[in-house]
Amino acid sequence: MPLYAQRLLFAVGLVALAAVLIEIGFTVAATTHGSQPARVVQVDAGPYPLRVSLYTDPARAGFAVPFAIAPVGQPGGLTFAVTSRPGPGVSATKVNDGVAADASVPGGVQGAAEVPVQGTWFLDIAVDGPLGRATTDVRFEATAPPAIPEWLGWIIGFVPFYGLIGFLALQRPRRRTAMSPA
Amino acid sequence: MELPNPSLRRLRRLRLGLGAVVLLASVICFVGTSWDIQWHSLIGRDRILIPPHLLMLGSVAMGGLAAMADVLVETFWARRNRLVAEHTVPFAGLFRASLGAYVAGFAALDAAVAFPLDAYWHALYGIDVTIWAPFHVMILGGMAMTALGGAYLLASAARLAAGQGAMAAARLGWLGAVAALAATFNIFMFLVLNGVGDEGMLDLGVLTVDVYPLMAALLSAAILVVAVQVVPWSWTATSVALVSLVLVGVMALFVPPATDALVQAEHLQFRQFDPGVSLVALRWPLTPLLAAVAVDLVRRGRRPVGVLLALCCLLASLPVILARPLEGAAFLFVALGAAGALASLLLALIGALWGAWLGGRAGLALLNAEVAA
């Protein structure tokens, strides 16, 4: 392979590596709670009034949505189970979202909702407390970047095969014994 | 035979060790992808970092880092040691390393780039995207080629060892290369398996053809021919096919209980009936083993064999799968009719010839690199 082609390939590799590292950074950053919620919703789960904070709104499909749930007028004693539920027409399944205690809010919890597909989603919240078990949900939208044409997707998807076939096509026998299988 | 040299001994150990890491990564990747298919089919792609995806991503990182380690160590080493430099392949005027490390490194990087692109594709089109989707192809292609890079690394170590008369190390290297080629075959096979049944049917208007025979013959010929060209054993092709089936067995033992355990641990629900067996194993084709035996038998005749090997690999185009051995044959010979079946088999012949050419060139790549070194 000519030296300039090797250097071009190396440059492409560096760009790809940088893209992977940036993507990892974005994915990690998506799970962290910002200082200000993007949207705050007051809901009642049966006898329990709750304040639900979403830290991205609309959510970005493919990334987690950080959220926090705080009981209103209830010092504690509540336990929460949270599920992301796809709305009608969204090709996805329910996802159980883990929650952990929110150190800044007494009795509150925080977590990150998984939203793998664009469309309407619901954050289903099940609360257990001294007044029994109750549920509620919070609707939110998840958006994705604009769709690239399918043919362009296929052109990109076949990149490893162009690389392999190009690399093999460049091979030329250098000695007679290499022509036939061992 | 070269005189034993401490630097070359250390070089072959480095390649053997890092090649083994790439091989392990490829096997983990194969098992992880099979688990992922089971998870998608029975549970759904409920979130991005599900355990099978973590296994796949971990294997990509493992293979990529091992390749990068080989490139960096050999580059620095070759700058100080002329003998080591003579056994390496230069790249971009900056690096010197084994050919396999470059192949594995770039391939792993390709797979790593494809993962977020696949998440984007799922975000657009939902969780039930077929295996024949652009970025699935990109991920699987990258991971399979990482395994091919591992095979090159191990074969290079074996050739170094054989050149120094270290036959035990050479055998270990060849065995590793056979296993890595089996892993390459198995990972590429995920793309071929989709062709068994309706998805493999291509309506051309005047007739319908099945693309499975084309893909199976292409893959089998490429891998079996590169194997017999790189590994100097009598039964190399058969060994690759048998190791491939052993890997399928390991996967079949792991996937169902792992899926059940995680469903319980994460309080998930099956969205369809759990058969309790690996779905991939049930669809695994058996005829590549026949093709491999035929390839080895033909090679024993010591004739010029390029086209003959391709013809042997036509056997792999018959869609005989483990679960329902006659299902594929029914599609090919009954559903398509005579014209469709004949056209499909002609495509298979083209695939076998192209695959044999690709396999020959892939073997030549290693031989050229070694000669140049």
Measured in degrees and rounded to the nearest 5, phi and psi for residue A48 equal -110, 110
pLDDT of residue B131: 87
Q: How far apart are CA B250 and CA B185, in angstroms?
A: 15
Report the gap between the CA of A95 and the closest CA in chain B (Å).
5
* Mean per-residue pLDDT, B153-164: 93
Q: How far apart are CA B360 and CA B373, in angstroms?
A: 20
Chain A and chain B share a number of CB contacts under 8 A equal to 160
* Mean per-residue pLDDT, B104-112: 95
* Mean per-residue pLDDT, B156-164: 92
Compute the C-alpha angle B269/B271/B277, nearest 5°. 90
Check pLDDT > 60 for residue A92: yes
A2 in contact with B, Cβ within 8 Å: no
R_g over Cα of chain B: 21
Highest mean pLDDT among A11-25, A165-179, B315-329: A11-25
pLDDT of residue B1: 53
Q: How far apart are CA B320 and CA B54, in angstroms?
A: 32
- Cis geometry, peptide bond prior to residue A58 (ω within 30 degrees of 0): yes
* Mean per-residue pLDDT, A1-6: 83
A164 in contact with B, Cβ within 8 Å: yes
Which chain A residue has its CA at the smallest distance from B263's CA?
Answer: A96
More confident residue, B246 or A165: B246
Q: How far apart are CA B114 and CA A156, in angstroms?
A: 9
Closest C-alpha among B64, B60, B40, B62 to residue B50? B40
* Mean per-residue pLDDT, A162-180: 68
Report the gap between the CA of B128 and the closest CA in chain A (Å).
7
Check pLDDT > 80 for residue B324: no
Query: Taking a contact as any Cβ pair under 8 Å apart, which residues of chain A between 69 and 128 contact chain B?
Result: 90-96, 114, 116-118
A10 in contact with B, Cβ within 8 Å: yes
H helices present in B314-336, as ranges: 327-329
**B144-158 pLDDT, tens digit each:** 999 999 999 999 999
Q: Which residues pair with A81 in a beta bridge?
A: A126
pLDDT of residue A180: 42
Q: How far apart are CA A163 and CA B167, in angstroms?
A: 34
Going along chain A from its start, the domains and CATH numbers come out as 37-143 (2.60.40.1930)
Rounded alpha-carbon distances, angstroms, from residue B245 to A168, B25, B299: 27, 18, 22
Highest mean pLDDT among A160-169, B93-102, B359-368: B93-102
Whether the CB-CB separation of A138 and A87 falls below 8 Å is answered with no
In total, chain A counts a number of residues equal to 182
pLDDT of residue B2: 54
**B195-217 pLDDT, tens digit each:** 877 788 888 888 888 899 999 99
pLDDT of residue B289: 93
Q: How far apart are CA B339 and CA B125, in angstroms?
A: 36
Report the gap between the CA of B247 and the closest CA in chain A (Å).
24
Q: How far apart are CA A84 and CA B87, in angstroms?
A: 55
The model's confidence at residue A75, banded by pLDDT at 50, 70 and 90, is: low
Best residue of B99, B113, B354 to probe chain A, by most A CBs closer than 10 Å: B113
- Choose among A16, A175, A182: nearest Cβ to B371: A175
The model's confidence at residue A5, banded by pLDDT at 50, 70 and 90, is: confident
What residues of B are in contact with residue A116 (Cβ under 8 Å)? Answer: 45-48, 119, 122-123, 127
The residue written with tokens 């017999």 in the block is B228
Structure tokens, B140: 């699987």
A161 in contact with B, Cβ within 8 Å: yes
The model's confidence at residue B93, banded by pLDDT at 50, 70 and 90, is: confident
ipTM score here?
0.85
- Sign (positive/negative) of CA torsion A59, A61, A66, A71? positive
pTM: 0.90
pLDDT of residue B130: 83
Q: How far apart are CA A142 and CA A124, in angstroms?
A: 15
Could you say which DSSP state residue B89 is in? E
Q: How far apart are CA A120 and CA A90, in angstroms?
A: 7
Compute the C-alpha angle B148/B149/B154, nearest 5°. 95
The model's confidence at residue B303, banded by pLDDT at 50, 70 and 90, is: low
**B21-35 pLDDT, tens digit each:** 999 999 999 999 999
- Choose among A13, A95, A147: nearest Cβ to B47: A95
Structure tokens, A31: 């799970």
Best residue of B41, B42, B47, B68 to probe chain A, by most A CBs closer than 10 Å: B47
Could you say which DSSP state residue A14 is in? H
More confident residue, B313 or A41: A41
